[in-house]
Amino acid sequence: MYVTASTLTICPLQTRDIAPIQKLHSQVFGPGRFARTAYRVREGLTPASTSADTCSRVGWIDATMAASVTMTPITIGGASGALLLGPLVVAPKFAGQGFGEPMVNAALDAAKQAGASLVLLVGDHAYYKRFGFEIVRAEHITLPGPVNLSRVLAVELTTGSSANFKGLVSADNARSTH
């Protein structure tokens, strides 16, 4: 567990959090969320493997879910050891207070502790560059869905690891349960 100065308490995702997270995603992203690439990748997970994701984190203000960040183990070109970050969401009533940043930091810390060597996401470089994410070279990584290539970002957790990850992104069912 991890407590920030602004009273956000960040905990590992529990199975009971899944329904409220889905509600939060529906509230923030609406029905179009199912077309998002992170969802397309997660569609490849077996139901059992989505029950709890080791590196996913939930942020609480007292007993209210204020934020969540989902981390999905993936293979890239068949190679394991990478995670897909997303969706990251802060509940509208808690937006604008900087809660996204400790959520991403908690997820990246969890990924390092889990031994992951790369974290990939689809998002705004302007936001994620503060965590070290860089735009991936277009020819290196392919996602299972349409994507704006300038939004495909990665951060190496192990120096030089991106050289090991080239090809199509898929859910890594072998590493999704715990």
| Residue 73 touching ligand COA (CB under 6 A) | no
In the stretch 3-42, what mask flags binding to ligand COA with x, by CB under 6 A? -------------------------x--------------
Q: Which stretch binds ligand COA (CB under 6 A): 6-14, 87-95, 109-117, 150-158?
A: 87-95
| Residue 90 touching ligand COA (CB under 6 A) | yes
Q: Which stretch binds ligand COA (CB under 6 A): 75-83, 90-98, 109-117, 147-155?
A: 90-98
Neighbour count for residue 31 (Cβ, 10 Å):
7
Within 13 Å, how many C-alpha atoms sit on residue 2's CB side? 16
> Which structure tokens are listed for 98?
């900087």
Q: Which of 127, 135, 140, 144 binds ligand COA (CB under 6 A)?
A: 127
- Least Å distance, CB 159 to ligand COA, is 26
Calculated CA dihedral for residues 108, 51, 171, 58, nearest 10 degrees: -20
Prior bond to 87 cis, omega within 30?
yes
Strands 79-90 and 118-122, by their bridges, are parallel
Residue 146 CB partners (closer than 8 Å, separation 6+): 37
| Residue 86 touching ligand COA (CB under 6 A) | yes
Residues that bind ligand COA (CB under 6 A): 28, 86-90, 95-101, 123-124, 126-127
